[in-house]
């Protein structure tokens, strides 16, 4: 079942996976070095925790799944998911960040961009799309994500948002013809 699926993409990055795996191994080797005398101490425990942390990153942030339906955009990174209802999309555009901010993280992270708090689901080497929300989700006002096909994603999100707005005009919220209301009764 595709549940009206408009777009589906699985994005993975060997470069990002290699980075996280290298950090996992680095901290594991540092732990082994500290533990070689039989007493790893607090620093050894810190190294082991960092190794476990980056192992989780290696496994969890291997693949980003992007799903667009007529109702929402869903981003899934391992055990974490974020759903954006299309009626909360104010605008979408190609994400243009300075190099340092663009390379500042992979996986899921949060940052301020032009005084707007943003959640990012991204890899290091792919272009990103940013979606501005009409209504904040907690403190988050934008979400950005990596895709290999930014032009297609932008076009499809804009079309789905426009279609969603047209459907809302035909069925005002709370009216007898509102599909959400008729399903509840």
Residue with the larger pLDDT of the pair 135 and 104: 135
Computed over every residue of the chain, the mean pLDDT equals 86
Domain with residues 64-184, CATH architecture: Roll (2.30)
User: Burial, 120: exposed, middle or buried (Cβ in 10 Å; 0-12, 13-18, 19+)?
Assistant: buried
Interior/surface letters 154-172, b for 16+ CB within 10 angstroms, e for the rest: bebbeebbeebeeeeeeee
Q: What pLDDT score was predicted for residue 184?
A: 29
Give per-residue pLDDT as tens, 9-32. Answer: 999 999 889 999 999 999 999 999
Q: How confident is the model at residue 151 (pLDDT cuts 50, 70, 90)?
A: very high
DSSP state of 74: E
Q: What pLDDT score was predicted for residue 182?
A: 29
Give per-residue pLDDT as tens, 78-128. Answer: 999 999 999 999 999 998 876 666 666 788 989 888 889 999 999 988 999
User: 43-57, 98-112, 154-168: lowest mean pLDDT where?
Assistant: 98-112
Which neighbouring-strand residues pair with 118? 111, 142
Q: What pLDDT score was predicted for residue 103?
A: 64
User: Burial, 64: exposed, middle or buried (Cβ in 10 Å; 0-12, 13-18, 19+)?
Assistant: buried
What is the value of pTM for the model shown? 0.80
Contact 106, 122 (CB under 8 A): yes
């Amino acid at each position: 079942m595709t549940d009206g699926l408009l777009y589906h993409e699985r994005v993975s990055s060997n470069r990002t996976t290699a980075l996280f795996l290298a950090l996992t191994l680095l901290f594991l080797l540092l732990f082994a070095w500290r533990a070689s005398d039989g007493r790893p101490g607090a620093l050894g425990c810190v190294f082991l925790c960092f190794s476990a942390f980056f192992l989780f990153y290696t496994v969890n942030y291997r693949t980003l799944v992007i799903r667009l339906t007529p109702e929402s955009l869903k981003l899934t990174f391992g055990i974490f998911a974020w759903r954006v209802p299309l009626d909360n999309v104010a605008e979408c555009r190609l994400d243009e960040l300075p190099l340092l901010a663009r390379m500042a993280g992979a996986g899921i992270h949060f940052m301020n961009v032009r005084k707007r708090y943003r959640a990012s689901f991204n890899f290091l080497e792919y272009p990103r799309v940013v979606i501005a929300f009409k209504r904040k989700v907690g403190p988050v006002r934008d979400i950005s994500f990596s895709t290999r096909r930014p032009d297609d994603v932008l076009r499809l999100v804009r079309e789905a948002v426009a279609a969603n707005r047209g459907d809302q005009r035909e069925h005002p919220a709370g009216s007898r013809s509102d599909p959400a209301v008729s399903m509840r009764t």
